[in-house]
Amino acid sequence: MHVKSLVSLLATILLTLPGILLAPGTGYAKNYTFSIFFPPTHEQAIAATNFAKEVEKRTDGRITMTPFPGGTLTKAPQVYDGVVTGISDLGNSCFAYTRGRFPVTAALDLPIGYPNGKVATWVADRFTKAINPEELKDVKVLYVHAHGPGLLHTKKPVRKLEDLKGMKIRATGLSAQVVEALGGVPVAMPQGDTYEALQKGVVDGTFAPIETLKGWKQGEVIKYTTECYDIGYTTAMFVVMNLKQWNSLPVADQKIVEDVAAEWVKIHGEAWDRADEEGKAFTLGLGNEMIPLSAEESARWRQAVEPVINDYIAKTPNGAQYVKELRALIAETSK
């Protein structure tokens, strides 16, 4: 075969390999699929998409990522396994959507009083990277973020513990145990299904950060928010990459991705707090009511959820150390 023909054939083969491009002036490049469970207009989906854009920018196009928000590539509970098996190259979802699968990182979701999203995100990322649990060894963890304090949003007012008794409350992971401890009946489901469940009366309320009232439009189908900040839990969310794809990246590009990921921890945390403020304004604008708890009532709620923390400690190897570490990180970051 003529040399020019051979070169042309090789170029054609390279250009037609799935996901592989030749970026002008940069040589080899790769496009990765990025499954995101948030709806495309949600601030966190936008933040994750901007992470992908920043990686592309800093690698001069050698790494590009195509986001698939709203669970269009893999549904929220399948995102992690989708990354492991290669359905997607990267994924963003919640550890709590597969209850029991991630016992160490489950500590992050305990009702230990996260004050805001920035603190929760910083603590979640630092804790996960420091512990480096075996349960996450089948992926490359890029970063972890977490929402501001989870509150109770209901169709009927909950002003004291007795009002919650028997109510069906949407909850995931350890927040389901919180609901049980408070006297409610937990119903597991991802955020994407919650609006319809509230609308149709499948559930009477939901435990979630106040941002969901706008970000997921749930303020349209609830009437009340109980401000139970003293038991504020969070839900930790991962951004992970398929291990084989990660290992195939040049070391220099791995360093760029890690650098961007480290910066995006702050961006996600700030976005959570901004979204909480917008969620509060949105629900009040609809005429919904915010119900504060008295100091005495808050103490009752704290006492009610203490067994959830003790149960985690009792059932999880090194559980006491994890809880101690988290409380120290919250205190340090909240200064």
Q: In the chain, pLDDT over 70 holds for what percent of residues?
A: 92
Architecture of the domain spanning 151-234+282-333: 3-Layer(aba) Sandwich (3.40)
Confidence of residue 27 (pLDDT cuts 50, 70, 90): low
Give per-residue pLDDT as tens, 123-148: 999 999 999 999 999 999 999 999 99
Confidence of residue 310 (pLDDT cuts 50, 70, 90): very high
What DSSP designation does 54 have?
Answer: H
Look up the pTM and report it. Answer: 0.85
Strand-pair category, 151-154 with 205-208:
antiparallel
> Which token pair is 335?
């200064």
Predicted local distance difference test score (pLDDT) of residue 174: 84
- Please say if the pLDDT value at position 115 is more than 60: yes
- Please say if the pLDDT value at position 19 is more than 70: no
CA atoms of 204 and 271, how far apart (whole Å): 28
Tokens 């990354």, located at residue: 83
> Which token pair is 321?
């150390």
Give per-residue pLDDT as tens, 195-226: 999 999 999 999 999 999 999 999 999 999 99
CA atoms of 142 and 210, how far apart (whole Å): 26
Chain region(s) in the chain for CATH 3.40.190.170: 3-146+235-276, 151-234+282-333
CA atoms of 1 and 158, how far apart (whole Å): 80
Predicted local distance difference test score (pLDDT) of residue 134: 97
CA distances from 258 to 51, 79, 95, 307, 316 (A): 11, 21, 21, 38, 30
Nearest to 54 by CA among 143, 148, 138, 146: 143
- Please say if the pLDDT value at position 8 is more than 60: no
Confirm if 291 and 159 have CB atoms less than 8 A apart: yes
> Which token pair is 316?
């999880």
Confirm if 72 and 90 have CB atoms less than 8 A apart: no
Strand-pair category, 90-94 with 20-23:
unpaired
CA distances from 252 to 43, 49, 303 (A): 30, 22, 50
Q: For domain 3-146+235-276, is the CATH number 3.10.450.630?
A: no
Mean pLDDT for the stretch of residues 74-93: 97
